Amino acid sequence: MISKEFFLALDELEETKGISKEKVIESLETALTIACKKHYGEAFNTVVKINPEKNTIRIYTSKTVVETVETPEKEISLEDAQLIKKSYKVGDEVLTEINPRDFSRIATQNAVQVIKNSLHQAEKDVTYNQYSDKENELLIGIVSRVKDDGTIYVEIGKNQMEGVLSVQDQIPGEKFHAGDRIKVLVKRVRDGIGGTQVMLSRASYMFIKRLFENEVPEIRAGIVQIKSIVREAGFRTKIAVYSTDPEIDAVGSCVGNKGIRVNAIVSEVGGEKIDIIPWSNDILDYIARALSPAKVLIVQADEDSKEAKVVVPDEKLSLAIGKEGQNARLAARLTGWKIDVKSYSAALASGMFDNAEGEGEGE
């Protein structure tokens, strides 16, 4: 049978869905083979020949030429074979073409179902492969719908795959509507029974990291490195940066002229506070800087337990600790140290300075 339209459809499927023609042809061969066996019986050998260049699909039963036939479904006698073509000899294969129109309704339905299942699986594989290597990448999508529970669905990629932005992965307080352009991070790609699911995020610390990489050329070039980054989405991010070039100011590069770079990021995340801290291999200095924007007077550190006691001016205690302990908590996560913050008067009263060893003064 000849079906130019079929092969043109394969080209369109490959272009729009990314499903290779070879994959579809393989599925079709399997489906037609199954249909033949359903119609003629499992014992029959079936050969499917598909030629995309000639736009032809042909199906045959195959029998081997033998002296004495023992399995009629698979064998043909030399005498009968030579009635078809005189040159046949023992061991040759005799192909008899089948018209698919002769298939029973059940055989045809089974074939169609096999093709549908194969195409569905192929589409799943294409989608999964397309996005599995994009985890932790920043994409721009279009909000397609917002559910009553707050879950946002975002169309991403050229095939308009619908990614899922759960409430937990949204920045608290932000609102989006269908049709809005939105920046999202590909958080995770899952290949489930129902198909490939792309989970998105705007609340991940990686979202901020990718925004800085986009805004700061020195980071993309590898001159400025992000050493550590921690975040409580919608409230505060702390990012420690380091310059491999002494002539380049890491913090200044991230802030930009008149704050243009960091302000662009702050605007994207709805006014979230972002503390950009110069990374230091001097742990006393690093801890002091991590408590920015508070000024630190003294840092005492225990290397064995990775615990630090930090003293700040009395009037800066609440700033150093932050609302509900957030600033101190993020500083601890940024440095990897447990940090105990005290006011100067409280530290003095506790006798902290009586045997002060390993002290350092913050900037």
Given this model, what pLDDT does residue 39 score? 67
- Decide which of 74, 98, 130 is a domain's last residue: 130
Percent of the chain with pLDDT over 70: 79
- pLDDT above 70 (res 109): no
Q: Is residue 115 part of a domain?
A: yes
Q: Are residues 10 and 86 in the same domain?
A: yes
- Decide which of 176, 201, 226 is a domain's last residue: 201
Angle at 185 between CA 181 and CA 190, to 5 degrees: 115
Q: Are residues 169 and 252 in the same domain?
A: no
Given this model, what pLDDT does residue 363 score? 45
Q: Are residues 108 and 157 in the same domain?
A: no
Mean per-residue pLDDT, 269-284: 96
CATH number of the domain where residue 184 is located: 2.40.50.140
Higher pLDDT, 112 or 186: 186
Q: Are residues 112 and 189 in the same domain?
A: no
Q: Are residues 222 and 244 in the same domain?
A: yes
Given this model, what pLDDT does residue 6 score? 61
| Phi-psi domain of 206 (left: phi exceeds 0; alpha: psi -120 through 50; beta: other) | alpha
Q: Are residues 273 and 295 in the same domain?
A: no
Mean per-residue pLDDT, 53-70: 84
Q: Are residues 12 and 121 in the same domain?
A: yes
Q: Are residues 180 and 254 in the same domain?
A: no
Q: Is residue 162 part of a domain?
A: yes
Q: Worst-scoring range by mean pLDDT, 29-33, 178-182, 289-293?
A: 29-33
Q: Is residue 135 part of a domain?
A: no
User: Would you call 337 exposed, middle or buried from its count of C-beta atoms within 10 A (0-12, 13-18, 19+)?
Assistant: buried
Q: What is the DSSP letter of 2?
A: B
CATH number of the domain where residue 272 is located: 3.30.300.20
- pLDDT above 70 (res 14): no
Q: Is residue 288 part of a domain?
A: yes
- Give the pTM: 0.68
Given this model, what pLDDT does residue 358 score? 46
Nearest CA to 319 out of 346, 301, 292 is that of: 292
Q: Of the segments 12-16, 104-108, 220-224, which one has the largest average pLDDT value?
A: 220-224
pLDDT in tens, 347-356: 888 877 665 5
Q: Mean pLDDT score of the chain, rounded to an integer?
A: 85
Residue found under tokens 């999202």: 184
Range of the domain at 145: 140-201
Higher pLDDT, 147 or 59: 147
Q: Is residue 124 part of a domain?
A: yes
- Decide which of 104, 130, 156 is a domain's last residue: 130
Given this model, what pLDDT does residue 106 score? 53
What 3-state DSSP class applies to 102? helix
Return the bridge partners of 2, or none.
56
237-249 as b/e: b if 16+ CB within 10 A: bbbbbbbeeeeee
Q: Are residues 218 and 323 in the same domain?
A: no
Q: Of the segments 193-202, 282-291, 353-362, which one has the largest average pLDDT value?
A: 282-291
pLDDT in tens, 141-181: 999 999 999 999 999 876 677 889 999 999 999 999 999 99
Q: Is residue 78 part of a domain?
A: yes
Q: Are residues 50 and 106 in the same domain?
A: yes
pLDDT in tens, 318-334: 999 999 999 999 999 99
CATH number of the domain where residue 99 is located: 3.30.1480.10
CA distance 129 to 7: 25
Counting the structural domains of the chain, the total is 4
Higher pLDDT, 361 or 47: 47
End-to-end CA distance of the chain: give it in Å, rounded.
83
Q: Are residues 195 and 211 in the same domain?
A: no
Structure tokens at 117: 């299942």
Q: Are residues 349 and 327 in the same domain?
A: yes
Given this model, what pLDDT does residue 62 score? 87
